[in-house]
Copies of this chain bind each other. A is one copy, B any other.
Amino acid sequence: MIKARVTVTLKNGVLDPQGKAIEHALDGLGFAGVGSVRQGKVFDIEIDNADRAKAEADLKAMCDRLLANTVIENYTVAID
């Protein structure tokens, strides 16, 4: 059993209205000095596979095909 964490974030330059809304909300709550907020996604995935290399290749394929939109998003795969 392999546990992995996939993190998907917007590429630099891609507008993030959700992040902007959070930034303004934090400002409204009185948190001073919040510069920028960008929101992304994490996926905690368990794979029944003893082969780390195969699991990593599979995870990258999952990102390319389903989890991330690689036109506007970057992803990182971390395996425990």
Q: Nearest CB to that of A26 among chain B residues?
A: B62
Question: Copy number in this complex?
Answer: 2
Chain B residues lying within 8 Å of A19, measured Cβ to Cβ, are 43
Q: How far is the CA of A65 from the CA of B26 in the complex (A)?
A: 9
Interface residues of A in 40-79 (CB under 8 A from B): 40-49, 58, 61-62, 65-67
Q: Which residues of B contact A31 (CB under 8 A)?
A: 58, 61-62
Contacts of A45 in B (CB 8 A): 34-37
Given contacts A26-B66, A35-B1, A66-B22, contact A42 B43 (CB under 8 A): no
A interface, CB within 8 angstroms of B: 1, 7, 9, 19, 22, 25-26, 29, 31, 33-49, 58, 61-62, 65-67
